[in-house]
Each structure stands twice: as structure tokens, then as C-alpha cells.
């Protein structure tokens, strides 16, 4: 019923992958992810934030960067595709491929931020590894231009490449990486291999030297097949495209080795002890399903997972009052008001005896009001359709909720004209319905979380309470960093 600190529960999961957090307090059996020890530890050199789109991954990366810098680290945040607002919130009009210092960081540390420009990064690699003439031939090749701007894995690959570069520069002691919003962001991890296998592939080799393959094998069949195939490809893509590819591959040939070597080195870097992966999610079904998938993939690839950051978690300062009781109480108020209006009197009323409002329950509820609702007992939510129930009731009570363009017709306002004495009751009923909605949100979030926890009870979790609005400035990022560091439930 309370926020239990049950160390034994953590010990029950000796396989827990995060040594940083295994000593932390546990929440209802789920170990708490403590981000401050993680960013404070000088051994932590790379933090990778991964997760599905729309869960606040980039914001988490930026907030961690601010937090780490203000705790003394020399940090750099590598974002992939930030919203303009996020760049602005770090005081940088637009982020580009060069790390820019973020002003306003308190203390000894410092923070840089940059946004990956995959084409620019690719171009730089070409320029660095080929003589000027060859580099120009590559950069001007139409096939290269298409590859560098849009190959399904280019962004992921270039993020890895950039990470390797930043690490090699040794100007920062902590690199925080935001991963691309790929279908499954772990394409990030597969990208180097994919590009590598592509460039080493049979098809490319064949394009380079078709005669050799067919000829050496001495098989007439293959020769027939080959000419048929090149003929088809010519027809399909246009002969010029095939020539572009051949020219490109020839020009890139000398660079292949370098590509693969660096990709392999970065991959090993990610498996090293100095790296920590954070899976970011929101307490929603799809986001948590994706998070579970990430956790499994990271484990399969021996990547060190530090824990789950759960953004936009709702809480309530009155968690002891359940949704049902709040709605029943609101209905009491509605009924008594109707009775008043019918009889034109404001006499004594007795609440509906059917409503579950025993004093004892109240007491207990109030005691816990500082706790999070979901640490309350679950009996309230065990009937599968209770929240639907309440939901429907709510909608029928306020059919006008969808009419947003019209004038405000909240129940409070429509009743205000009906007479002052009623206003407080209507207002109270509104507050109760609002609370019921909040409690339903909390219950729903808890159910989706329970599914994740059942699959991965060992994964430490840090919760970040939902904010009503978006982040606009460094102070906003700092506030998120504080919530992240607290990690546990903050009653809102």
C-alpha cells in the first residue's frame, strides 16, 4: 500500500543487468533506475537512448545531458532528428553536424549538442579517406547521392560513425546518443553489418567483375543467366544506373576495409563496460511493447542495459480516492442538486446510502494521499470493465465535450446561472469527475506497465511525471532531469 522498499526483491533477481542500479530501492518489486550515479560515474562514457518514436527520447537525451553537465561532466549530446523547439530549448537556433556549446550550464561541467547530418557525415568520410580526385568522383556520382541521402540504414550507420568520431576526439568524457526513429530503433545496431554485407555482397562483386564469376566457374548456364540478368537490370533500371553503380563501387572499393573496421570497432565500443543503454518509453501499450522488444534485443547482442526510462507517468495527490467512489460522490451531488431544484430548498441531505463511503476507508485513503495511486491496492481495478463503465458514464454526462469550437459549456458554467448556492456543488462534482478520469489514466498506465514488468521484472525503472506542457528552455530540461533523477513517483 505504501512505497515499499524491498531490497530482497532486487536480490531475487540476481541476473539483473544493471549493476549501477541493483543496489537501489525497489518500487513494488521493480528496482529503481538511478540516473545520477550513472552519469556521475566517470567510467560511464557513452549513454545510448533508444525507444520507439514519440516517447520523448530526444528530450530525455537532452535532459540527461544538462543533468550530467551540471553535475560536472564534459558531455556532448548527439541527437538525430530533434524538433526545432528542442534545439531552441538548449539555446541553439539550429543544431548541425558540429558540436555547439550550450550556454547557461551551471557549475564546472559543460555541454555540447549537435544534430547528425547523415549526408554531411558520409561526405566527410569520403573526403577523409580518398584522394581529392577520387573523392570528387564519388561525391558527384548519382548513385552515391541517393545512397548517402536515403539508404534505409544510412542514418543508423552514420550515427554509429559519428559516435565513433566523437569518442575518438576525447574532448568529452560522456557522450549521450539519441537513436534514429527507425521502425525498430535497434536497426541502429544492425546497420554497420548490413551496409558491410551489402558492399561485400555477391551482387556488388558480380557487378564489378561479371566475367570473372561466370568464367572461372566455367559454367555455360551461369553465363546465360548472367547475360540475361544484366540485360534485365539494364532494362529495369536503365543502363546508365547500372554504370553509375559500377563506377561508384569501383571508386569506393579502397574504402570498404576502413568502413568495416570502424563499424566493428564502434560495435565493440557499445558492448564495452563504459556504455549504458537506456530504453525510453511512455506508459502506453505500443511503446512498452516496443520497449520489451528492445530489452530482449539488447540482451541478445550483449549490450549493457541500464534500465527503462518511463516518461509521462501520471500520479495523483488524492490517490486514496478511487475512480468509482469519486463518480458515486459526484452523482450524489448531482442528485441532491436536482432534488433541491425541484423542492426549492437547501435543507439537510443525506448522501445516497449505496455509495461506499465508510469513514474507515476514507481515513486510510487520506493517509495514502501522498502516495501514488498504483501502489494502492489493485482490487479497485480488478474488474476488467470498471474503467469502461466509468468512462461511458462520463461521456453521457458531458456530451458536449467534443464540441470544442463552440462556447464553453462546462457543467460548472451551465449551472452557475442556476443559482449561487449550487455552484460549489457543481464545482465539487466537476473536481470529482476530473479526479475519476485521472485515476482511470493511472490504472490504465499501471496495467500496461504490469505487462512489461511481468516480462522483464529485472529491468530497473525511472519514472518521469507527466508535464502539462512542452519543454521550451534549459530550465525545462533541468526540471525533467530532476524528475528523472528522482526516478520514483512524484505526486503531482
Partner 1 sequence: MTRLHVVTGKGGTGKTTVAAALALALAAEGKRTLLVEVEGRQGIAQLFETEALPYEERKIAVAPGGSGEVYALAIDAERALLDYLQMFYKLGSAGRALKKIGAIDFATTIAPGLRDVLLTGKACEAVRRKGRDGRPVYDSVVMDAPPTGRVTRFLNVNDEVAGLARIGPIHNQAQAVMRVLKSQDTAVHLVTLLEEMPVQETVDGVAELREAGLPVGGIVINMVRPRILDAEAVRAAEGHRRTDVAKALSQAGLGGARRGGHAERLVGPLLEQAREHAERLGLEREQRAELAGLGLPAYELEFLGDGGDLAGLYRLAADLRKQGVAEEGS
Min CB(354)–partner 1 separation in Å? 10
- Looking at beta carbons only, is 249 or 265 nearer to partner 1? 249
- Looking at beta carbons only, is 131 or 420 nearer to partner 1? 420
Is the CB of residue 104 less than 8 Å from the CB of residue 149? Answer: no
**262: part of which helix (H) or strand (E)?**
helix 256-271
Instruction: For the chain, count helices (H), then strands (E).
Output: 21, 10
Q: What are phi and psi of 313, to 5 degrees?
A: -90, 135
Compute the distance between CA of residue 220 and CA of residue 201 in angstroms, rounded to an integer.
Answer: 22
Angle at alpha carbon of residue 373, lines to 465 and 329, rounded to 5°: 120
- Looking at beta carbons only, is 7 or 238 nearer to partner 1? 238
- Looking at beta carbons only, is 125 or 441 nearer to partner 1? 441
Is the CB of residue 59 less than 8 Å from the CB of residue 38? Answer: no
Min CB(12)–partner 1 separation in Å? 30
- Looking at beta carbons only, is 69 or 280 nearer to partner 1? 280
Min CB(71)–partner 1 separation in Å? 27
Min CB(70)–partner 1 separation in Å? 24
Compute the distance between CA of residue 52 and CA of residue 182 in angstroms, rounded to an integer.
Answer: 8
> Is the backbone of residue 402 left (phi > 0), alpha (psi -120 to 50) or beta?
alpha
Is the CB of residue 320 less than 8 Å from the CB of residue 369? Answer: yes
Burial 136-146 (b: 16+ CB within 10 A, else e): ebbbebebbbe
Compute the distance between CA of residue 217 and CA of residue 223 in angstroms, rounded to an integer.
Answer: 9
Q: In Å, what is the CA distance from 354 to each residue of 328, 329, 332, 387, 421? A: 9, 10, 10, 19, 25
- Looking at beta carbons only, is 18 or 280 nearer to partner 1? 280
- Looking at beta carbons only, is 220 or 404 nearer to partner 1? 404
Min CB(17)–partner 1 separation in Å? 26
Min CB(160)–partner 1 separation in Å? 17
Min CB(92)–partner 1 separation in Å? 17
Is the CB of residue 71 less than 8 Å from the CB of residue 39? Answer: yes
Residues 6+ apart with CB under 8 A from 280: 49, 50, 51, 55, 56, 57, 60, 291, 308, 309, 311
- Looking at beta carbons only, is 130 or 426 nearer to partner 1? 426
- Looking at beta carbons only, is 113 or 287 nearer to partner 1? 287
Min CB(437)–partner 1 separation in Å? 7
Q: Find the largest Cα–Cα distance for the chain.
A: 106
Min CB(355)–partner 1 separation in Å? 5
Amino acid at each position: 500500500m505504501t512505497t515499499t522498499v524491498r531490497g530482497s526483491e532486487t536480490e531475487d533477481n540476481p541476473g539483473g543487468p544493471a549493476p549501477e542500479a541493483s543496489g537501489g530501492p525497489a518500487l513494488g518489486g521493480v528496482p529503481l533506475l538511478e540516473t545520477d550515479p550513472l552519469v556521475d560515474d566517470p567510467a560511464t562514457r557513452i549513454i545510448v537512448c533508444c525507444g520507439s518514436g514519440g516517447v520523448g527520447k530526444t528530450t530525455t537525451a537532452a535532459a540527461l545531458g544538462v543533468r550530467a553537465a551540471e553535475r560536472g561532466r564534459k558531455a556532448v549530446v548527439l541527437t538525430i532528428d530533434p524538433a526545432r523547439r528542442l534545439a531552441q530549448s538548449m539555446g541553439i537556433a539550429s543544431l548541425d553536424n558540429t558540436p555547439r556549446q550550450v550556454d547557461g550550464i551551471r557549475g564546472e561541467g559543460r555541454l555540447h549538442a549537435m544534430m547528425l547530418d547523415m549526408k554531411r557525415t558520409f561526405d566527410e568520410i569520403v573526403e577523409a579517406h580518398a584522394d581529392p580526385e577520387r573523392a570528387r568522383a564519388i561525391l558527384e556520382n548519382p548513385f552515391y547521392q541517393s545512397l548517402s541521402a536515403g539508404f534505409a540504414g544510412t542514418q543508423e550507420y552514420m550515427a554509429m560513425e559519428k559516435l565513433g568520431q566523437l569518442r575518438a576526439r576525447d574532448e568529452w568524457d560522456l557522450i549521450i546518443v539519441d537513436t534514429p526513429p527507425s521502425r525498430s530503433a535497434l536497426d541502429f545496431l544492425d546497420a554497420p553489418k548490413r551496409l558491410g554485407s551489402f558492399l561485400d555482397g555477391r551482387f556488388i562483386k558480380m557487378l564489378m567483375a561479371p566475367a570473372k564469376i561466370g568464367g572461372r566457374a566455367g559454367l555455360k548456364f551461369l553465363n546465360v543467366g548472367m547475360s540475361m540478368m544484366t540485360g534485365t537490370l539494364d532494362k529495369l533500371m536503365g543502363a546508365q544506373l547500372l554504370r553509375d553503380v559500377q563506377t561508384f563501387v569501383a571508386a569506393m572499393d579502397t574504402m570498404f576495409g576502413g568502413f568495416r573496421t570502424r563499424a566493428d570497432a564502434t560495435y565493440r565500443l557499445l558492448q564495452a563496460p563504459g556504455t549504458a543503454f537506456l530504453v525510453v518509453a511512455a506508459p502506453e501499450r505500443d511503446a512498452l511493447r516496443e520497449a520489451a522488444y528492445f530489452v530482449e534485443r539488447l540482451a541478445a547482442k550483449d549490450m549493457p542495459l541500464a534500465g527503462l526510462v518511463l516518461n509521462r507517468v501520471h500520479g495523483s495527490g488524492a490517490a486514496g480516492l478511487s475512480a468509482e467512489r469519486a463518480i458515486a460522490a459526484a452523482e450524489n451531488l448531482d442528485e441532491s442538486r436536482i432534488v433541491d431544484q425541484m423542492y426549492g430548498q437547501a435543507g439537510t441531505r443525506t448522501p445516497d446510502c449505496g455509495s461506499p463511503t465508510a469513514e474507515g476507508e476514507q481515513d486510510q485513503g487520506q493517509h495514502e494521499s501522498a502516495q501514488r495511486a498504483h501502489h494502492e491496492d489493485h482490487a479497485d481495478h480488478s474488474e476488467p470493465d470498471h474503467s469502461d463503465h466509468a468512462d461511458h458514464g462520463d461521456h453521457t454526462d458531458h456530451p458536449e465535450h467534443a464540441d470544442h469550437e463552440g462556447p464553453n459549456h462546462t457543467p460548472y458554467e451551465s449551472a452557475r446561472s442556476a443559482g449561487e448556492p449550487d455552484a460549489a456543488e457543481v464545482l465539487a462534482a466537476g473536481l470529482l469527475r476530473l479526479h475519476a478520469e485521472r485515476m482511470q489514466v493511472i490504472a490504465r498506465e499501471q496495467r500496461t506497465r504490469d505487462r512489461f514488468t511481468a516480462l522483464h521484472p529485472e529491468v530497473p525503472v525511472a519514472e518521469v511525471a507527466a508535464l502539462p506542457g512542452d519543454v521550451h528552455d534549459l530550465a525545462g530540461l533541468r526540471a525533467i532531469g530532476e524528475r528523472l533523477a528522482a526516478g520514483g513517483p512524484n505526486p503531482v
